[in-house]
Structure formats: C-alpha cells, structure tokens
Amino acid sequence: MERKRFLLTTTSGILLLSLATIANAGDCVFTGVKQEEPICEPGTNLVVEMRVSNNRSAYCCKPGSDEEKSMEVFAKGCRVSKCVPRTHADPCSTSQVFETIFKGKKIIYEEVNRESCTTGLGSHGLAAYCCRKGSVESALTSRLGAEPHEFPYMALLTVGGQQCGGTIYNKRWIMTAAHCIVDVSSRELGIPNDKWTAKVGRNFGLTQMPENDYKIIQAIPHPEYSELKGHPNLDAEIIATFNDIAFLQVDRDIVFGPNVKALQIAPAGFDELKYADHAVMVGWGTTDTLEVSDNLLKANVIIRRDQTCFDVDDENAPHFWQFNRTEQLLCVGGIIEGKWSNIAGPGDSGGPAICRDAKGFAVVCGVASYGPKTEGCSKYNNADTCFPTVYVEVDHFRDFINQTAGDQDESTFHKVYLYGEVVNGPKYEHQVHITSKTGKSCGGTLITPDTVITAAQCVAVGDGSGKTHSGVEVWSGVQDISSGSGKLHDVKSIVLAEGFIRSGEEIDIGIQGNRIRMTDQYHNNDLAVIKLKEPVLISPNNLPRLPEEDEVATDSGLEYAFPRNTSRGGELRQREFKILDKDDCQRRMDRLEYVKLNVTVDRELLCGVEKFSGGSQCDRELGGGLICKGKNGSDTLCGIQVFRLCEWAIPNGFLDIAQFSRWIKANI
C-alpha cells in the first residue's frame, strides 16, 4: 500500500518505516482554548479547528506555507473516533464524538469500519474509522480495509510518532524488520527498548485497549544486518540492506484468544510460487491518495521472479537486488506485463507477506523491507517506473529465527486457508460444473437429484431476449475439472427468472490512471433453474435445502467454486464469506461513486466479503453456491455468486435464494 510521505531514503532504496508527524511547527501553531476565546494569533490563518464538548483546538498557519497545505490534507483525511459506549448509533457523528472545521466549514464524516475497544471507564465500547463523506479516501479505505480481527497476528509497533508493522511469532516475540529499530544515522539500536509499544488485537492503531498493549524489553536485529555499525560494507558507496529482520521481546506473555493469534512461519526451502501466484500484504501504510491510515489495510500482490526484480540495469531502478543476495529476497507487486499490483510503503515496514503453503494454509513468507522511490508508481505509469516491493524471505532465516525466539506453539496459530480450501468427497457432490458452446463455464448447486440452481448469466445471454447459450451441459461428480472426471448429464430445460437482464456497462474502476476492468457484469434477477433428463446418483443427505421465504441468512457462509484458470489444478474449493447486513453493504457500495456499478442492495442481493484474504480474487467461476447454516443447523443454499470486483476488498454479490424460494419451488 503505497505511501508518499516521510520516506527515509538511502542510496540503495527506500526504507518503508513511517513517521506519523503531521506538520512542521515552524509555520503552524497548535493551540487549545475554551469555546469563546480567540484561537489564532494575528498574521496566521485558522486552518483546522477541532471541537470536543466545550473545548477547542486548532492549527493556525502562516498563509501560503507548505505546512498550511499539510494541514489541509490532514483536515480532509480519515481518523479514528473516540472509544464510545456501544449504545452510540453513529460513532462518527460530529455532534457525538468530535467536530472538525476546515476553513470555517464543518466536515461531515461517515463510518468506514468499526472495532471493539475499552472506554476510559474500563468498559467495552466501540470505535469507528471515520472518513469525510463521499471522499476518495473513504472509497480507498473501503477498497483496501481489513475486516475487524481478520488478521489477529498483526502487531502495530509504535514509539513517539514512528511506527512499523510486525507479526506475532509466539507468546514473547514479535517479528519485524531490522531497519525499524536501527538508527539510520548512527547505525546502532537507536531507540530505547522500553519506549516501544506493541499493540495487538486491533485494526485501528489509536483505539484504547491497554490490556493488549505490551512494552518491548529486548530488540534483536539480525547480527549481519548490513546497516549495523561495524558491518564490512558500511563505507561502500552503495550499501545494500540485507538480513533486514529483527525480533522484539515483549514484557509479559501475550494473551492469546479469538482476536489475538500467532501465525506460522514458512518452512525451510519454501517455494512461494508453488502453491499460488499471489501473496497478501497487510499493514498500516497509506494508499496512493490516503495520507494517513490508522485502519489496517490489506491487498493481494503478485509474487515475482522476473528480470525486473533481479537484473535491473535502469539507472532509475532500485539497486537492492544487485548484490548476489537474491536468495533471501521476496519480490512482489509493481507492474509486470501490463498488469498492476499494489506496492508497500512507509508504515508497512516489518509487516508480513502471507503466502499459501502446501496444505493451503496461510504462512508468513516475508517481512516488508524495501520499496522503490514512489514517485514513479504513484500514477501507475508503466513497468519502467513502477518497481516492485522487496520483502526478506522468511524461510532463509530459519536458523536466526529459532536461535533468537525459540519455537512456535501450534496451539496459538491462526490456522486459516488462503485462497480457498480444496474439498472433495460425497459431502460436496451437490456442486456441479456447467459448460456451453457460446457462454462461460460456471458452477451450480443440486437442490434435488435432477435440479440445478445457478446464475442465469451462466446459461443465457442477458440482453433481455431470454435466449440461452447453445450446448449447455452439466457435469456431476467433478472434484477436479482439470482431470476430465465426472459424469455428463443432458439438459431437459432451462428456466430463467423473470426480469433477468444485464445492468450497466463493464465496470472500470480507474483511480489516477490505474485501470482494472471487471469482466463479470452485474445482472438483475440473475437466477436460472436447470432440469436434467436423468437424476444424479446422490444421497439426499448430501443435498442442501432451500431456505424459506422469510429466512434470513446467517452472518457467514461457505462459497463453493471451481477455478477459472486450471494451471495450478482445477480442484473444487470452498471459501468463507462474512455476510454483511444490507445497510452496511449499501454504504460500502455508495462510497464507490467513481465506479459506475449501478447496484442497489435490495432484497434480492446478499453481500459478502471474503475472509482472510487480500480482497476478492477473480480466479474462480461464478454461479457456485453459498452454503449457510439454516434452521436446525442444516446446510442451506442461501446464495449463489453473481458478481465481484476483482482484487479489491469490496463486497461480492450473492443472489439471496430466500427471496426466490417460492419461484424456485414452482419451477422444479
């Protein structure tokens, strides 16, 4: 997540550490007074004023100064509300929590995210991440923001105005980058250990949860970290920052629970590209236009081993790949073959790159270390100016890790599947694969032995004519579509929901020249019932039930889908989704005003966000079922996936089957 402020540059690249300072005090003065008193001295302008109860505080700046412009950025940015009682309906309401006035005009905030916190009285409350209503910052946070407690192994490391990310390794140690704790000028441990605080179990860096704050009693950088004093290459013209990994010991055992976990590190000899071509980047860095982010952000990033990463001759390129140490570096993001992927920046330092292992679980595979100068990538120009981010490769440092921090405790791991869990066996035989001569391949769900529910766009044109694709075929018993297994079933009939039609144009979610086109357009009433000539041999116990008309979907569900690209295997996978309430979903959609999505979250649409991921991966087919726990805990077909915006943390759309239950029953 690219940042453009307070970059600590070296001759070999840019450290990704962040300084959270807002303005130079030389041309701006911070002041606090009672409600009715004058607030600015003569010769200065009141730029930003904040009011809480009967008190005011403000920044008064010299007209035309750079600091005055910085204050404008600050005023328009996002911020965390105070920790308020849970009875507050709107923590971002300016009358309830805070008022910010920019050049005499009150700023109206909207809630982007919320999390639990502890109030000043020690009771449980909630805090919200609040952004200016309708702002691009709000949309960007929606696009990249992590869900509450989605990454419970993240630690925010702070001292004064300086911050880094980290990963909980075990009950006493946190893994981070060495450059976070080594002073740039002295090349020694530059900050007393006890001044650091490790904040865990939160998305927001500023919420009050003292029980989850830990002091640091020992900081150990890798002994061969090349920016330590006494390193043999210290006086070289270009110093490569190798071995950029460190461990911080906390002052007491970390209390593990549902919202605080450790994450397993990658095994020795780990091949990041063997099991997925993406990794997940997580941290408190800022986005391309968001100057400050106190909300935890996430992104999917391309894993790279191309020439741009490890054999760069361009004089404007970063130099840190050119020192014969590539075996300890992990290269991600940037632009490759015309495809853009997120990069890290200040504030993301020390945070993890998360990869998929041999069993499909998430593991720490990298620690954020370096990024190129961001000017070339801020407008997403081209591969010659938008270089990747470099992480140190964790598996290369297993000896240092074990000798420094000891072993990990498997019982503390956040054991989740990344990019879906491969599933097989009779329990999942309700999922079928649908192909045609003129349409796209899709998934579908058996609700009776001879009836399949799928998205109408999988079998029909979508222009309002009701015309279906030619040669529609249904395959049952498919666990791996790349194997050619399964049984073919002839189609007897296809019935489309009334009003099925494509809505709007293809979606182009461009921001500052970054163009990523969504190939799956939104359709109204996107539902089809396929009747088969012969029933599938399947146990009734393995069929999901239809929900009742008034049945409300649970707050989570498992989506089943086959992959679009079978180069890594075509196995059926399940992914967990958090189901949002419709008001929350509509608020998230409404923030995307620059996207001509034309989606109204009405009664027919369920919204879900994929859990434990960097966003919505479009590596799988539409039409697959969303299985929730219904009445009496039974497996229930609560939705089918009908659209998503690739790569971003924007809600996916599922057709709410309960709203069509009567129609489906009438057509089976």
Return the SS3 of 367: strand
pLDDT mean over 542-553: 91
Q: Which residues pair with 29 in a beta bridge?
A: 60
Residues with Cβ within 8 Å of 192's Cβ and at least 6 positions away in sequence, in order, are: none
Q: Is 253 exposed, middle or buried (0-12, 13-18, 19+ CB in 10 A)?
A: exposed
Is the model's pLDDT at 14 over the cut of 70?
no
Task: Find out whether 434 and 623 touch, Cβ atoms under 8 Å.
Answer: yes
> Can you tell me the mean pLDDT for 61-85?
82
Measured distance CA(539)–CA(556) in Å, rounded:
25
Measured at the alpha carbon of residue 430, what is the angle toward residues 426 and 432, in degrees to the nearest 5?
Answer: 110
pLDDT surpassing 90 at residue 542: yes
Least confident of 102-106, 251-255, 538-542, 596-600: 596-600
Residue whose C-alpha is closest to residue 430's, from 492, 477, 360: 477
- Output the pTM of the full model: 0.89
Q: Is the pLDDT of residue 567 over 70?
A: no
Say yes or no to pLDDT of 331 above 50. Answer: yes
Nearest to 312 by CA among 212, 391, 417, 385: 385
The tokens describing 666, both together, are 């009438």
191: three-class secondary structure by DSSP: coil
Strand pairing category for 501-502 and 491-496: unpaired
> What average pLDDT is seen over the chain?
82
Beta-carbon neighbour count of residue 498 at 10 Å?
9
What mean pLDDT is predicted for residues 212-227? 90
Q: What is the mean pLDDT of residues 570-580?
A: 92
Question: Per mean pLDDT, which of 241-245, 494-498, 507-511 is the most reliable?
Answer: 494-498
475-501 pLDDT tens trace: 999 888 877 788 999 999 999 999 999
pLDDT above 80 for 664 = yes
- Residue 516 scores a pLDDT above 50: no
Rounded CA-CA distance 277/304 in Å is: 8
Q: How far is CA 204 from the centre of its chain?
A: 14
First to last CA, the chain: 49
Task: Please write the tens of the pLDDT for every residue from 355-373.
Answer: 999 999 999 999 998 876 5
Q: What is the mean pLDDT of residues 432-452?
A: 95
Query: From CA 228, how far away is CA 234, in angstroms rounded?
Result: 8
- Residue 111: phi, psi to the nearest 5? -80, 125
* pLDDT at residue 384, rounded to an integer: 65
Q: Collapsing DSSP states into helix, strand and coil, what is residue 307?
A: helix
Report whether 85 contacts 125 (CB < 8 A).
yes
Q: Which one is predicted more confidently, 376 or 528?
A: 528
Sign, CA dihedral 639-642-643-647, equals positive
pLDDT of residue 115: 86
Place of tokens 């960007």: 140
SS (H, E, C) 268-291: CCCCCCCCCCEEEEEECCCCCCCC
Q: How confident is residue 20, by pLDDT bands cut at 50, 70 and 90?
A: very low
pLDDT at position 96, please? 66
Residue 468: name the closest of 459, 480, 455, 456 by CA: 459
pLDDT, position 176: 96
| Average pLDDT, integer, range 42-71 | 78
Quick one: pLDDT band at residue 526, thresholds 50, 70, 90?
A: very high
User: Residue 11: pLDDT above 50?
Assistant: no
* Residue 293 falls in which region: left (phi positive, over 0), alpha (psi -120 to 50) or beta: beta
Q: Tell which residue, 656, 643, 619, has the closest CA to residue 453.
A: 656
Rg (CA), the chain: 26
Distance CA 492, CA 608 (A): 33
Examine the pLDDT at 61 and tell me if it is beyond 70: yes
- State the DSSP code for 411: G
pLDDT of residue 31 exceeding 50, the answer is yes
Tell me the mean pLDDT in the region 286-298: 75
Residue 4: its pLDDT value, please? 27
Query: What percent of the chain lies above the pLDDT cut of 90?
Result: 42
pLDDT of 12 over the 50 cut? no
User: Quick one: CA torsion of 604, 607, 506, 659, rounded to 10 degrees?
Assistant: -10
Over residues 619-630, the mean pLDDT reads 93
Residue, of 208 and 389, whose pLDDT is higher: 389
More confident residue, 386 or 5: 386
Q: Are 614 and 560 in contact (CB under 8 A)?
A: no
Tens digits of residue pLDDT in 227-239: 777 776 666 555 5
The answer, yes or no, to whether residue 535 has pLDDT greater than 50, is: yes
| The pLDDT of residue 456 | 97
Q: What is the DSSP letter of 417?
A: B
Q: What is the predicted pLDDT for the residue at 398?
A: 95
Q: Could you tell me the pLDDT band of residue 315, with boundaries at 50, 70 and 90?
A: low
Confidence of residue 379 (pLDDT cuts 50, 70, 90): low
State residue 22's pLDDT score: 41
The secondary structure of residue 313, as a DSSP letter, is -
For residue 35, pLDDT beyond 90: no
Secondary structure (DSSP) of 564-606 = S-GGG--B-EEEEEEEEPHHHHHHHHHT-TTS-------TTEE
Decide which of 657 and 569 is more confident: 657
Alpha carbon distances (Å) from 326 to 22, 176, 179, 391, 393 = 36, 19, 18, 11, 9
